[in-house]
Amino acid sequence: MKFPELKIGALVPRYPIIQGGMSLRVSTAPLAAAVANAGGIGVIGASAMPVEELRNEIRLARSKTKGIIGINIMFAVRQFAAMVHTAIEEKIDLIITGAGFSRDIFHWGKESGVPIVSIVSSSKLAKIAEKLGAAAIVAEGTEAGGHLGTMRSIDEILPEIVSAVKIPVIAAGGIVDGKGIAKAIRMGASGVQMATRFVMSTECAVSDAFKQMYLKATAEDVVVITSPVGMPGRALHNDFTDKILNKAAPKPEACDGCLKDCSREYCIFQALENSRIGQVDQGVVFTGQNVYKINDILPVQEIFDNLIKEFEQEPEIDGY
């Protein structure tokens, strides 16, 4: 099977594989640069980063690669506009945005020549994004990790979204291997976004305890929790998720107003940071539904080599 060409604005990566932009400091410059060097699109998870930290991350990524680098930013964060403008100032290649819907970002993207990619979970939102000027769509199903925009499978929403728009559609949610990539391409996707697989890379900045939870995970360990963002989230079961599900999670002792709207049920960004640094029982470990299918931690280049080999072994169909 041959890879299709993924064209986002004027950007054409060697392989139509986007590394999901995971916050909080899960997708940083070393991971994004490694993915870009391997021929994909590397993405820095910008949400909850201070503006100057984001600026430094983009510059660091640029120093490590000549490949394609983007950011992922949630519309729900209070400093959304400042983060987007900072990324544009730093000549970011593309901006991927979700967890809410901004109309302004398309204007900013058009003015600067930076392609905007919208993460959506319905054909209705895909059409709106296309009309406003999105260069591509990420169709994200319920199998994805982190905050979820739908409880419908990628298998259900992908064909609907592909049929609804004329711009490239990138499939996301539960894709962890070359076989999964091939399935998405056969369903009409122009490329895929993968996050969970790249957590299990040597370049990913999370703690070993975080990665070990991934390695030991079974299908039964994956749960859906509530988030103060106002969306459900997919994570690995631990002591903290039990507290969330039992409405006993600790309330924030202080709040810096990082989100435009927050239930203050608990601090999601602190919970994510706790897990990243290794305090996994005091935090949230976001993950995709198929994490249990991953059983090794590898350099990004080796992950790509395996994905490419697995994909190319899939039978040809419809010219691919």
Length of the chain: 320
What confidence score (pLDDT) does residue 25 get? 93
Greatest Cα pair distance, the chain, in angstroms, is: 57
Query: How far is residue 98's CA from residue 84's CA, in Å, rounded to a whole number?
Result: 13
HSE toward the beta carbon, residue 42, CA cutoff 13 A: 32
Q: Quote the distance between the C-alpha of residue 10 and its chain's center.
A: 21
* DSSP classification of residue 177: S
Q: What's the pLDDT tens digit per position in 36-84?
A: 999 999 999 999 899 999 999 999 999 999 999 999 999 988 899 999 9
Q: Of 134-138, 162-166, 197-201, 228-232, which gets the smallest average pLDDT?
A: 228-232
What mean pLDDT, rounded, does the chain reach? 95
First to last CA, the chain: 5
pLDDT at 293 (0 to 100): 98
pLDDT score recorded for residue 317 = 66
pTM tops 0.85: yes
The per-residue pLDDT for range 292-308, each reduced to its tens digit, is: 999 999 999 999 999 99
Report the pLDDT value the prediction gives residue 320, as an integer from 0 to 100.
Answer: 47
Q: At what angle do helices 123-132 and 154-164 cross, to 10 degrees?
A: 40
pLDDT exceeds cutoff 60 at 319:
no
Strands (E), the chain: 17-19, 41-45, 68-74, 94-98, 116-120, 136-140, 146-147, 169-172, 191-194, 222-226, 232-236
Whether pLDDT at 101 is above 90: no
- Give the rounded percent of residues in the chain with a pLDDT score beyond 70: 99
Cross-strand pairs, 98: 74
Q: Taking a C-beta distance cutoff of 8 angstroms, is the pair 19, 41 a contact? A: yes
d(CA 6, CA 4): 6
Instruction: Assess whether pLDDT exceeds 70 at residue 258.
Output: yes
Mean pLDDT of 7-21: 98
Confidence of residue 278 (pLDDT cuts 50, 70, 90): very high
**DSSP string of 48-112, one letter each residue:** T--HHHHHHHHHHHHHH-SSEEEEEEETTBTTHHHHHHHHHHTT-SEEEEESS--SHHHHHHHHH
Could you state, in order of their start, the residue ranges of all structural domains in the chain?
Answer: 17-205+295-312, 208-291
- Region 3-14: what's the mean pLDDT? 97
pLDDT digits (tens, 9 = 90+) for 184-219: 999 999 999 999 999 999 999 999 999 999 999 999
Distance, in Å, from the CA atom of 139 to the CA atom of 281, rounded to the nearest integer, reads 31
Alpha carbon distance 199, 34 (integer Å):
12
When pLDDT is averaged across residues 244-260 and rounded to a whole number, the result is 87
Tell me which architecture the domain covering 17-205+295-312 has in CATH.
Answer: Alpha-Beta Barrel (3.20)
